[in-house]
Structure 1
Amino acid sequence: MRTPKKIVLPGSHKKAHAAPDTGTLDRSEAIEVTVRIRRKKSIEHKIGSEDRISQKNYEKEFGASQKDVERVEAFAGQYHLSTAEVDLARRSLILRGSIADMEAAFGVKLNGSKDTDGNDIRVREGDIFIPAKLKDIIEGVFGLDNRPVARPMVRLATRDGQVVSHAAAPNAFTADQLARIYGFPEGFNGKGQTIAILELGGGYRAKDIRNYFKSLGIKKPSVKAVSVDHGKNTPSTPNSADGEVMLDIEVAGAVAPGAKIVVYFAPNTDKGFLDMITKALHDTHNKPSVISISWGSAEANWTDQTMKSMNETFKAASLLGVTICVASGDSGSSDSVNDGRVHVDFPASSPYVLACGGTRLTMNGSKIASETVWHDSNTSAGGGGVSEFFPLPDYQANANVPGSLNSRFEGRGVPDVAGDADPDTGYKVLVDGQQMVVGGTSAVAPLYAGLVARINQQKGKSAGFINPVIYANPSLCRDITVGNNNTTAANTGYSAGPGWDACTGLGVLSKF
Structure 2
Amino acid sequence: MTKHPLPGSERVLAPGSKVVAQCDPSETIEVVVVLRRKNEQQFAQMMKTIEAGAAGARPLTREELEQRFGALPEDIAKLKAFAAQHGLSVVREDASARTVVLSGRIEQFQQAFDVQLQHYEHQSMGRFRGRTGAISVPDELHGVVTAVLGLDDRPQARPHFRIRPPFQPARAQSASSFTPLQLASLYRFPQGDGSGQCIGIVELGGGYRTADLDSYFSSLGVGSPKVVAVGVDQSGNQPTGDPNGPDGEVTLDIEIAGALAPAATIAVYFTTNSDAGFIDAVSQAVHDRTNQPSVISISWGAPESMWTAQSMKALNDVLQSAAAIGVTVCAASGDSGSSDGVGDGRDHVDFPASSPYVLACGGTSLQGSGRTVAHEVVWNDGSNGGATGGGVSGAFPVPAWQEGLSTSAAQGGQRALTGRGVPDVAGDASPLTGYDVIVDGNNTVIGGTSAVAPLWAALIARINGAKGAPVGFVNPKLYKASACNDITQGNNGSYAATTGWDACTGLGSPDGVKVAAAL
Q: TM-score range by the shorter chain?
A: over 0.9
Number of matched residues?
Answer: 494
Residue 501 in 1 paired to residue 499 in 2?
A: no
Map 1:459-470 onto structure 2 (within 5 A): 459-470=467-478
In 2: Cα distance, 1:449 partner to 1:195 partner:
7
2:11 match = 14
In 2: Cα distance, 1:178 partner to 1:365 partner:
11
What is the letter of the counterpart of residue 235 of structure 1?
P
2:36 match = 38
TM-fit CA distance, 1:75: 2.1
1:211 match = 215
Structure 1 unaligned runs (5+)?
163-167, 487-492
- Please identify, of 336-345 and 21-30, the stretch whose mean Cα deviation from structure 2 is larger: 21-30
What is the letter of the counterpart of residue 449 of structure 1?
A
Counterpart pick for 2:63 among 45, 56, 61: 56
Residue 322 in 1 paired to residue 350 in 2?
A: no
Q: Secondary structure at the match of 1:233?
A: coil
What is the letter of the counterpart of residue 90 of structure 1?
A
Contact 1:399 1:499 in 2 (8 A): no
TM-fit CA distance, 1:72: 1.6
Q: Secondary structure at the match of 2:450?
A: coil
Relative distance call for 1:7 and 1:402 in structure 2 (3 A) is farther
TM-fit CA distance, 1:117: 6.6
Contact 1:115 1:147 in 2 (8 A): no
Write the deviation string for residues 59-102 of structure 1: whole angstroms up to 9, x where unpaired: 11110011101112222222222211111001001111111111
In 2: Cα distance, 1:235 partner to 1:349 partner:
29
In 2: Cα distance, 1:339 partner to 1:132 partner:
40
What is the letter of the counterpart of residue 427 of structure 1?
Y
Structure 2 unaligned runs (5+)?
51-56
TM-fit CA distance, 1:116: 4.6
In 2: Cα distance, 1:453 partner to 1:233 partner:
23
In 2: Cα distance, 1:385 partner to 1:174 partner:
29
2:234 match = 230
Residue 446 in 1 paired to residue 417 in 2?
A: no
Q: Secondary structure at the match of 2:266?
A: strand
Relative distance call for 1:402 and 1:350 in structure 2 (3 A) is farther
Q: Percent identity?
A: 49
What is the letter of the counterpart of residue 327 of structure 1?
A
TM-fit CA distance, 1:341: 0.3
Residue 93 in 1 paired to residue 100 in 2?
A: yes
Write the deviation string for residues 91-116 of structure 1: whole angstroms up to 9, x where unpaired: 00111111111111111111012355
In 2: Cα distance, 1:31 partner to 1:308 partner:
23
Write the deviation string for residues 17-72 of structure 1: whole angstroms up to 9, x where unpaired: 33211115211111111110011112111113421211112111110011101112
2:404 match = 398
Relative distance call for 1:9 and 1:408 in structure 2 (3 A) is farther
In 1: Cα distance, 2:181 partner to 2:99 partner:
39
What is the letter of the counterpart of residue 490 of structure 2?
G
Map 1:463-502 onto structure 2 (within 5 A): 463-473=471-481, 475-486=482-493, 493-502=494-503
TM-fit CA distance, 1:401: 5.0
TM-fit CA distance, 1:291: 0.2
In 1: Cα distance, 2:63 partner to 2:372 partner:
48
Counterpart pick for 2:195 among 177, 191, 195: 191
In 1: Cα distance, 2:28 partner to 2:96 partner:
26
Q: Secondary structure at the match of 2:17?
A: coil
1:179 match = 184
Contact 1:143 1:270 in 2 (8 A): yes
In 2: Cα distance, 1:264 partner to 1:33 partner:
18
Relative distance call for 1:268 and 1:317 in structure 2 (3 A) is same
In 2: Cα distance, 1:460 partner to 1:34 partner:
35
Write the deviation string for residues 242-296 of structure 1: whole angstroms up to 9, x where unpaired: 0000000000011111111010100000110011011010000000000000000
Residue 347 in 1 paired to residue 352 in 2?
A: yes
In 2: Cα distance, 1:344 partner to 1:294 partner:
14
Q: CA RMSD of the aligned region, Å?
A: 1.9
Relative distance call for 1:130 and 1:92 in structure 2 (3 A) is same
What is the letter of the counterpart of residue 152 of structure 1?
P
